Amino acid sequence: MRYIPLFVLLLSMLFDLRPSTAEGRDTVLLYFGSPHCSPCKLMKPRIRALELEGTPVRQIDVLQEPYLASRYGVRQTPTFIVILGQKELTRLVGPQSLVQLRQAIANDSPNAIVPTWSKAQERLRGNLSSHRKFGSASANALSSNHADLSPIGGQQIVTANSVSSLGEAMPNQHTADSIERARAATVRLRVHDPDGYGTGTGTIIDTRDGEALVLTCGHLFRETGVDSEIEVDVFRGGQCFTLPGRLIDYDSQIHDIGLVGIRTEIEFQPIRLRSDSHHARSGETVFSFGCDRGSLPTRRDTRITGVNRYNQHLGLTNYEIEGAPIDGRSGGGLFDQQGLLIGVCNAADYHENVGIYAGLGSIRKQLERIGMASLMSQD
């Protein structure tokens, strides 16, 4: 009887490896999914078709095997990773066609990267520069109530690498005051549709006549449009208050900015917007707030790594920052050290671990549409 080393046997049990019928290669498809992820359910027949074709597929439930999700840096489901001899060749994020999966499996070059966006994500960010591909950071439905954050849509995974970036270092007193003002003005949004709801983040930028104005991203309302049913969670004294929201205006195609109104008797200190005449610069230290996976708002300290790198032909302003945002931070604010809002979270590049924020020029365009561009000149 042929002797099989123990470590080989253990690896074969872990990855359920079988010889590939395609040219005898040892390529394995790692499929990271979740039973609560709607896009994952869409992928089931396609995964089954690959298995019937003889493709070795290792299906990984990220809730049951979070250590593997952490090991491979998986932040979103579904994620597909093609490996050869434990070396990653290709990574795809989001729902994929059977053709896309076959192409990824057939590709044996570790330097050739297949675009990670799904079809829905491609429609969302179709105008981006072709030199960088990245998936949307748009929020998914994650919570049926405030206490139970059980996911009911596509799910983001916090990995070991990303957790370390969430730490909140002790700032100086001036910055600490700026942080607390931004935290108090950050809200959580739920946008309902026939299949459930998606969650996102917003920032209160104005209050008048008993109504607060929330700045967020536009793609949260792409599917539901002007008929969006919106709930807004505001946080005061350790309590969460849910208020109905009203979509005032949005652009989900170019500037990706949305404006939501909420009627409330709660007093807020709105966040001031930095004037777009004071340009952000690469290397500038900033921080963001967002509702990771629909949770309470958390802060991330980061810095700007690029200014206006995308869609320059459209005259858009945008900022690239260190650290790809986790799902649910869409619409969250980016703030300078004085606590002035300078950007709105709308996308991520998971390959290069960067976040993309709509800049002050895009915010101004949306405010001009409702006659409130004066908010840009408060500083």
Say if 162 falls within a structural domain: no
Range of the domain at 13: 6-114
For the stretch 310-360, pLDDT in tens is: 776 677 789 999 988 888 899 999 999 999 999 999 888 877 788 899 999
189 forms bridges with which residues in the sheet? 200, 232
Domain end marker among 94, 114, 134: 114
Number of domains in the chain: 2
For the stretch 212-262, pLDDT in tens is: 999 999 999 988 888 899 999 999 888 899 999 999 999 988 899 999 999
Q: For residue 307, what is the domain's CATH number?
A: 2.40.10.120
**Residue 170 half-sphere exposure toward CB, CA atoms < 13 A:** 0
Least confident window among 26-35, 47-56, 142-151, 285-294: 142-151
Q: For residue 38, what is the domain's CATH number?
A: 3.40.30.10
Say if 204 falls within a structural domain: yes
> For the purposes of burial, counting CB atoms within 10 Å of the CB of 318, is it exposed (0-12), middle (13-18) or buried (19 or more)?
buried
Domain end marker among 82, 114, 146: 114
Say if 158 falls within a structural domain: no
Going edge to edge, which strands form the sheet with 87-93? 57-61, 27-33, 79-84, 87-93
**What one-letter code names the amino acid at 274?**
R
Judgement on whether residues 190 and 280 belong to the same structural domain of the protein? yes
Contact indicator for 178, 338 with CB cutoff of 8 Å: yes
Judgement on whether residues 234 and 364 belong to the same structural domain of the protein? yes
Judgement on whether residues 179 and 71 belong to the same structural domain of the protein? no
Judgement on whether residues 307 and 228 belong to the same structural domain of the protein? yes
Judgement on whether residues 258 and 324 belong to the same structural domain of the protein? yes
Give the pLDDT confidence score for residue 215 in this predicted structure.
98
Say if 292 falls within a structural domain: yes
Judgement on whether residues 225 and 354 belong to the same structural domain of the protein? yes
For the stretch 130-182, pLDDT in tens is: 333 222 333 332 232 332 222 223 333 333 333 333 444 445 777 889 999 99
Say if 359 falls within a structural domain: yes
pTM of the model: 0.59
For the stretch 5-44, pLDDT in tens is: 433 333 444 444 333 333 445 788 999 998 888 889 889 9
d(CA 73, CA 68): 8
Say if 348 falls within a structural domain: yes
Judgement on whether residues 270 and 178 belong to the same structural domain of the protein? yes
More confident residue, 46 or 376: 46
Say if 212 falls within a structural domain: yes
Judgement on whether residues 101 and 177 belong to the same structural domain of the protein? no
Judgement on whether residues 101 and 189 belong to the same structural domain of the protein? no
* Phi, psi for residue 29 in degrees, rounded to 5: -100, 115
Judgement on whether residues 105 and 177 belong to the same structural domain of the protein? no
Judgement on whether residues 102 and 218 belong to the same structural domain of the protein? no
Say if 143 falls within a structural domain: no
Neighbours of 65 (CB within 10 A): 14
d(CA 377, CA 237): 31
Judgement on whether residues 77 and 180 belong to the same structural domain of the protein? no
Domain end marker among 114, 129, 155: 114
